[in-house]
A and B are shown apart, each in its own frame.
Chain A
């Protein structure tokens, strides 16, 4: 993008006709203007209206709503009280911790596992088949995955039955009933479903690495871990940026699996911020408090996405 914008200024006037670089608003080859700076506005309006009505207005409305104590029917202005309450609310603290566990877990498991499976299989003879098997769960909806994992994780479920069958009774556990086991078990279930997409993305990245680069490295004596660490992985950087970014956002908005497996319980022990927001707003009708939680979640999502992309994007663009 920056190259496109800089190119006309850097080029000599004589070269302009051979390299017709110009932006949408720059003069045409006949020197006749297609319109002033406002020409694009009508074309932008539908998109702006959509974003404004569906995104910006609800966001601002939530910010405003978070300043009220609101039961859905009556409300009174309380200023920043809802935010002060967050600090003292043990359920919010647990929810924040669970959200953090989801972020870390989703970064560690599906991303690393996805990379590992992609690297291990992309040159295998039946690698494509293996990748297909890993990708299959991605085609199942989150809700269906949760129902499936419910059969696995209940006290009499498949996981405990297998553990007992192989003599590992001591490892059998009521997985969904106790914290932090319930959150960890759900992250594992989410990993089962989400790893496949990461495998596909990493496999695409691996295929895009020029063969010459790898051959040159091999001639220089690199192999195994050194080849991966210094040649393959750096070449995957662009894909990794996407995969990690998606993992962060997905983990922050985790909802369906938790809702179906535990409804955030027992005793609200497995709620994430998204669930706490939903329960406070739509079950307990603490609409103002729920809006405050929504705002905190929004700030976390935007801040983490911005910090991450700010750190990654310029470098990857130079690459």
Chain B
């Protein structure tokens, strides 16, 4: 600075300018660069479940051998934060390249933003190679185009302890009456028959989904797709059945989480736990051996005249339009359903695979797949993935309220219907626009 009293301490003008330029460049590089971009040959896959990190890494290694590209799992271990990051970044260049997302309406919700890639070609190539179950396609389709590839195939079943079943003279129920008898037998033996919970919010829908789909699968689909009303007597019948279970004192305390419930099944202090096969890991952590002391059955139909069904859940592999490694992400998606990749993933996750050529991860999953095939079960998507996400988010809270106060069936259904009318109207208006 001219006239400064300490010129010698001041950096020469050029040095200062260089410093400023360097600092500005640094700031700009940080701000504008794609922090999530991976080195060539690698692509990041973002998800919300820390338990998926190792299975994804294993699938990534298999993919590197098979297709020369590696998946790098990135976990945002909170459903809320993950969805927030996805929705807020989708239209920016900072968006993740690949996502583990939900199927059904949640995927449709994302697809209609225009922020994710169409993957119809990848699906059709996989289907023609016999690498994907074609019946899953509708769960990944929006306006006749595929926007996601199935990552896993979770079967919703009832887990039980084979040793305790044997001690009580029970066999896995194949009719609704046998199921009720099993519950009564457990109760008489001083063991809580069934797990029900509101812990973590979302599990509040499990019983409604299971009972309604077994009483009337067509109505379940109609209701979930906005064609039927919550105030219909068939919805009320489902809640009445659940209320009877509660009245019989067949349920655990509603704040029993799935980890504790899984341990209770393994230790013989809980009769049966409804859940997805992705929960197998919880049972194994507690000392259970799938196909050994732990097994699972598909809840029988309450209405034997209805087409037999079971609930499935499948996460969607999604590529974003604006991700920094878009081309590599599409390449990775095309390789995802290869048997060696899908197999590495499902065997590490210990869950079902959407690729029929992949061997079952364990004897329990193998048994479920066999049951589904032999009984020709119709696969129905899960409650969480059906209907506008905004509606599902609100109705799980209503169902939690009902579980806490089972005498509130009618008012619960009336509230759910009000919400459904509003949410479907908004959804349909958005569809038209």
Contact = CB atoms under 8 A, between A and B. Distances in A.
Contacts, number: 62
A265 B401 CA distance: 9
Contacts of A154: 253, 255-256
B286 interface: no
Contact of A282 (B80, B397, B401): B80
Interface string B211-230: 00000000000000000000
B394 interface: yes
A72 interface: yes
A61 B430 CA distance: 25
Contacts of B256: 154-156
Contacts of B87: 72, 285
B8 interface: no
Contact of A267 (B84, B113, B397, B430): B397
A177 interface: yes
B393 interface: yes
Contacts of B433: 74
A174 B254 contact: yes
A263 B400 contact: no
A285 B393 CA distance: 11
B129 to A, nearest CB: 36
B390 to A, nearest CB: 5
Given A267-B398, A284-B393, A73 B113 contact: yes
Contact of B254 (A72, A177, A285, A286): A177
A267 B255 CA distance: 13
A156 B253 contact: yes
Nearest to A155: B253
A282 B253 contact: no
Nearest to B426: A71
Contacts of B426: 71
Interface string B67-95: 00000000000001001100110000000
B299 interface: no
A265 B205 CA distance: 14
Given A72-B87, A265-B397, A267-B398, A285 B253 contact: no
A310 interface: no
Interface string B86-124: 011000000000000000000000000100000000000
A176 B400 CA distance: 13
Contacts of A177: 198, 253-255, 404
Contacts of B430: 71, 74
Given A177-B404, A282-B84, A284-B390, A263 B201 contact: yes
A155 B404 contact: no
B390 A266 contact: no
A267 to B, nearest CB: 3
A237 interface: no
B200 interface: yes
Nearest to B403: A266
A73 B114 CA distance: 11
Interface string B410-433: 000000000000000010001001
A283 B202 CA distance: 12
The interface centre, meaning the residue of A71, A155, A266, A284 with most chain B CB atoms within 10 A of its CB, is: A266
A178 B401 CA distance: 10
B261 to A, nearest CB: 11
Rank and list the top 9 A-B pairs by shortest CB-CB distance, nearest first.
Answer: A267-B401, A155-B253, A266-B400, A266-B198, A267-B400, A267-B397, A154-B255, A282-B84, A268-B397
Interface of B: 80, 83-84, 87-88, 113, 198, 200-201, 204, 253-256, 260, 390, 393-394, 397-398, 400-401, 403-404, 426, 430, 433
